[in-house]
Structure 1
Amino acid sequence: MIETDSTHQPIVVDDVDADWLLALCEDAETESRRAERRRLRYALHWAHLHPADPADAAKGHVEHAGGDGTPDVEEFTADPLGAAFQITTHAARQLISDALDLHHRLPRTWARVEALEVPAWRARRIAQATSQLTAGQAAEVDQVLAAKAHTCGHRLIDRAIADATQAPEQIDAEVIDRTSWGVRLFHGPMAGPGRWVGSSILEITGDTADLTQLYERLTTEAEKLPDADTLDVRRALAVRHLGTGARPRVRLYVHTDQSGLDDDTLGVGSVERLGPLSVQRIKDWVGHSAVTVVPVIRMDRTDAVDRHDPPAWMREQVILRDQHCVFPWCATDARSCDLDHVIPYDDGGATSPLNLAPLCRHHHRAKTRRRWRYRREPDGTYTWTGPHGRRYRVTRAGTVQFPQE
């Protein structure tokens, strides 16, 4: 196993002693910090190269990437950066946001990143935790945390934010501020010990009293269940007992041989957005719910219709075929996407499976506004060209960037 040290000399790792290996580890950490700092620097400069045009800002066509006190950037700024870094647009937008916040709102912490004293991931944690604060509040947190940024964790960050936001004049505003409230459901697949692919996460942010009451109800229901499982597991199981008792309606898109649902044979099916799942678990879910069986769709149909909107069978075929947004590195589920005419309908493009592709709403707008263009190849892959001429090939296996000519 050959590596290079900080002077770019080749090192046979298997031949070094313990002291030398620790020195190489220290060099690797420094190089990692330098590489992540470079990514933040590039993201920051990219944002500064794309300031929001006042005319576009008046129309709402901007990206509010950073927090209070950071400049807005023009719409679709994150897309080319994400493609270059081979990450999703969402991840690129977050990178830009963190870079702007560190540079404009957390200058002390940013200075320590620049000096390689703080790893970028720790600084980004502070930036994300303070993103909803005013510029003044963020500056207060920066003053408190910058000296400790190389070691501080969530608890210390939360305490500094609480101190910065609980000034007397802020308390009334805090009581009525619900901008951070919400409910989010995250589906699998999730890997890890003791987890199965049918697990999901429900995250709720809301009124403390309401959530405490909900937690206590779950605990009360959990205590009625057999104690073969831990109390936490029983709380999760108790969720199904909080309903009204009406027959639940579960919407699952299951792909399996129906004969496997009709007998006791073991097998594996696939549930959209969840992944592979045992037939027994599928039967357990659908056995308590209303079930609609959809016949198999022919995936080889290519006939067109003389209208803009595709019929249901065509939409389903395209969703099953492509499975996700076909923009480079985008993983948005196809069932949540718009169906886009690759060749625009108004330009003579047919409403046919061969001319339709799923695009999430953001990337649909990016294509519609002529920032990006693409075509569907005969083999079913997609070739994209970005606003700076870079080209990408999207396949079922992932995204590949073409070499620059």
Structure 2
Amino acid sequence: MPATPVPLYDLDPGSLTPEQRVDALIASERELARLSARQQRIITAISDDPFAGELTPGLDKQYFLEQLRATLGESMGAVRGRVAMATELVHRLPDSLAALEAGVISSRQAWRLTDQLRPLSDAAAGRVEEAVLEYMQTRREHSGFCRKVKREVLKHDSRGSEERRATAMAERRVAVKPVEDGMTWVGGTLPAPDGLALDAALDQLAAQAKAAQPDDDRTKAQRRADALGQLARDVLAGRCAHCTGTPAPLRPAVQVTVALSTLLGIDHEPAELTGYGPIPASLALHLAFDHSGTWRRLVTDDLGHLIDYGRTTYRPPVALRDYVIARDRTCRFPGCTRRADTCELDHVTAWVDGGTTSKENLTPLCVRNHHCKHEAGWHAHRRRDGTMDWTDPTGHHHLVPPATYPVDHTLDRCVPDGNAEPEDGDSGTAGERAA
């Protein structure tokens, strides 16, 4: 039998001609689409037949979502989106699934299509699907695909489009999320007129800043970002000319975990900002002198540990609870990043099974994942180094490493003998400073 030819995308691109490289790219895109279609079937099979046989009867939580989140390493929102897309393709849009498998549409386009068609009736969704797939037989560009989907939805479901607009209006919001390098992402959904008004206002403030200081070397984008931040600071400082009532300065609480040696200027260990994550030492020091808020400082020792509290009662005292929350920072379930101060404290080894109320046996779990541990067949073990070892209902293990903290190097610089102990035998302190 003749040997099966090797697909172009499996060959070294350097050995291909320019024409073959383009062909290899096209072939690899089709292969990705085929694999994506296969994955939609797998996800739907898990969703349709979850390992729910031993769950509490009548339990309305779909704990297979935790299985997918831990396996795929994605957020709960992303997992829900993938399940919704897979279910829609397999059960309601088989022609679109076939088009994905054939490489006519990409997984990105399949997501867009299912997202737009999900609210529609079967009949309307079928008409939109037919028109879009016919369009995609001759067109490939994503922007044209998105416009086509939107036009067809408006054409075949005009009343539903108005209802969805009203729902979207009710769900308007602004969100602030941490990103890398000491920055945050600010975004959200606003009514179109308000969004355009905000855009125009930031343009105007940026232009005013440039006019006031012609030698300002900031870009327009930087001046727009600074203007938005200044608006927020003006409100917090009580300088809002348009606020109702008597403006009162607000004092937001900020918790920073920082090494003592960094506070003393001995080193520049990265600090930790609660609700954000690692921040540069320079930013941590800046927060210490920020008089717009309250700065709560948690100082670590030369092992990177926080101060400990020993307790034996079932309900953790405030001091122990504060310690566990500061130590773990987030829910300790695989993939969950909900802040620990919004979670419940769970006994890793149950109290009725001899578990103690101690720092070694307490960990924060959000409400849903707390129920998941006790009701859906998940088991947890906390290793000596703080790693949480979770076993899911199928027997797979998922490791959640402990949070990392800055390490104090004060003794390294200040004590000639590195083995010397502080006089009080305690190598770290904690304090609070109200600005």
In the superposition, the TM-score normalised over structure 1's length comes to 0.75
Query: Which residue does 1:339 correspond to in 2?
Result: 345
Query: Which residue does 2:184 correspond to in 1?
Result: 200
Query: Which residue does 2:205 correspond to in 1?
Result: 221
Q: 1:52: Cα distance to partner?
A: 9.5
Deviations, residues 71-126 of structure 1 (Å, cap 9, x unaligned) = xxxx1122223334454444333221110122234333222012233232321233
Q: 1:256: Cα distance to partner?
A: 2.5
Query: Which residue does 1:304 correspond to in 2?
Result: 311
Q: 1:36: Cα distance to partner?
A: 2.2
Q: 1:369: Cα distance to partner?
A: 1.2
Q: Distance in 2 between matches of 1:275 and 1:130?
A: 38
User: What's the secondary structure of 2:186's corresponding residue?
Assistant: strand
What RMSD over aligned residues (CA atoms) do the two structures have, in Å?
4.0
Q: Distance in 2 between matches of 1:147 and 1:250?
A: 55
Q: 1:284: Cα distance to partner?
A: 4.8
- 5+ long unaligned stretches in structure 1: 63-74, 191-196, 399-405
User: What's the secondary structure of 2:381's corresponding residue?
Assistant: strand
User: What's the secondary structure of 1:177's corresponding residue?
Assistant: helix
Q: Distance in 2 between matches of 1:221 and 1:10?
A: 53
Q: Report the residue type matching 1:97 in the other structure.
A: A
Instruction: Report if the CA contact (8 A) 1:129-1:157 is conserved.
Output: no
User: What's the secondary structure of 1:317's corresponding residue?
Assistant: helix
Q: Distance in 2 between matches of 1:81 and 1:122?
A: 22
Q: Distance in 1 between matches of 2:174 and 2:386?
A: 34
Whether 1:395 aligns to 2:384 is no
Q: Report the residue type matching 2:294 in the other structure.
A: V
Whether 1:182 aligns to 2:185 is no
Query: Which residue does 2:60 correspond to in 1?
Result: 61
Whether 1:120 aligns to 2:107 is yes
With 10-19 and 140-149 compared, the bigger mean Cα shift is at 10-19
Query: Which residue does 2:98 correspond to in 1?
Result: 111
Q: 1:367: Cα distance to partner?
A: 0.9
Instruction: Report if the CA contact (8 A) 1:248-1:288 is conserved.
Output: no
Whether 1:232 aligns to 2:221 is yes
User: What's the secondary structure of 1:365's corresponding residue?
Assistant: helix
Instruction: Report if the CA contact (8 A) 2:179-2:185 is conserved.
Output: no
Query: Which residue does 2:422 correspond to in 1?
Result: none
Q: 1:262: Cα distance to partner?
A: 7.6
Taking CA–CA contacts closer than 8 Å with sequence separation of 6 or more, which of the two structures ends up with the larger relative contact order? Answer: 2
Deviations, residues 192-230 of structure 1 (Å, cap 9, x unaligned) = xxxxx2322222323333444444443443333236333
Counting aligned pairs with the same residue, the percent is 23
The match for 1:209 among 181, 189, 193 is 193
Whether 1:141 aligns to 2:106 is no
Q: Distance in 1 between matches of 2:388 and 2:9?
A: 41
Q: How many aligned residue pairs are there?
A: 374
Q: Distance in 2 between matches of 1:250 and 1:131?
A: 41
Q: Report the residue type matching 2:293 in the other structure.
A: A
Query: Which residue does 1:32 correspond to in 2?
Result: 32
With 99-108 and 267-276 compared, the bigger mean Cα shift is at 267-276
Shift of the 93–56 alpha-carbon distance from structure 1 to 2, 3 Å rule, reads farther
Instruction: Report if the CA contact (8 A) 2:99-2:105 is conserved.
Output: yes
Q: 1:269: Cα distance to partner?
A: 3.2
Instruction: Report if the CA contact (8 A) 2:120-2:160 is conserved.
Output: no
- 5+ long unaligned stretches in structure 2: 240-247, 405-435
Instruction: Report if the CA contact (8 A) 2:67-2:392 is conserved.
Output: yes
Query: Which residue does 1:71 correspond to in 2?
Result: none
Shift of the 81–281 alpha-carbon distance from structure 1 to 2, 3 Å rule, reads closer
Give the greater-gyration-radius structure (CA).
2
Query: Which residue does 1:292 correspond to in 2?
Result: 295
User: What's the secondary structure of 1:296's corresponding residue?
Assistant: strand
Instruction: Report if the CA contact (8 A) 2:387-2:400 is conserved.
Output: yes
Query: Which residue does 2:69 correspond to in 1?
Result: 82
Q: Distance in 2 between matches of 1:261 and 1:378?
A: 29
In the superposition, the TM-score normalised over structure 2's length comes to 0.70
Shift of the 177–384 alpha-carbon distance from structure 1 to 2, 3 Å rule, reads closer
